[in-house]
Amino acid sequence: MAGLGMTRFLLHLAKPFLSEAERERIFSKPLTPDRLAAIRSAAYARVFGKPVVCSLCGKPLGKVICRVRYGRMDVLGLHEDVVRVDFYDRSTLRFRHARPESCKALQHR
């Protein structure tokens, strides 16, 4: 993965091509090293990740990459929405929307 300086440079190059919402989300706060690392992980997952869908409504939650480090599993790419996770069986994790606003299955209109 690119270093943080390169991430900052690429972000400014990509700025004109981002949506207004993305621009606001990324550039409304200072690009600290922590934020740059998070943005880099998110971009990496968006390009190389595999889609995960909500187990309730079937809508995509994002493209994710799983990696194990320091005895924990990182799930890169789950930054778009608020997500709840539990075990589907002994070795499979199941993801679903947490916010009623995002999930048709949580709405009873």
Partner 1 sequence: MLVNTILIHYPAELCDAMFETFSSMAAEDARFLLAYGGPHAEFAKIQYPDKIFFDDLHLRGQASPQNSWPWLKAASEWTRSHAAEATAVHFTECDHLVFRSDYWRRMEALLLSSGKDFLGKDCFCCSNTNFHFFLEYRDDPTLLALLGSISKRDDPTQLWTALGNGMLFRREALEALVAATDSIPCYTEILIPSVLFHTGRTLGSIDEISEQFDHVRFRPNFSSAEVLSLMREGTSCCHPFKDRERLPELLDKILERHRVQPS
CB of 86 to partner 1, least distance (A): 8
CA geometry: angle at 53 spanning 51 and 54, to 5°? 155
Identify which of 9, 62, 55, 7 has the alpha carbon closest to the alpha carbon of residue 34. 7
CB of 9 to partner 1, least distance (A): 26
By beta-carbon proximity to partner 1, the closer residue of 4 and 98 is: 98
Residues at the site binding partner 1, with contacts judged by CB under 8 A: 20-21, 24, 78, 82-86, 98-101, 106-109
By beta-carbon proximity to partner 1, the closer residue of 10 and 85 is: 85
CB of 5 to partner 1, least distance (A): 26
Residue 36: CA count within 13 A, CB half-sphere: 16
CB of 56 to partner 1, least distance (A): 13
By beta-carbon proximity to partner 1, the closer residue of 5 and 109 is: 109
By beta-carbon proximity to partner 1, the closer residue of 6 and 82 is: 82
Report the first-to-last Cα separation within the chain, whole angstroms: 45
For 56-82, give the secondary structure using H, E and C: CCCCEEEEEEEEEECCEEEEECCCCCC
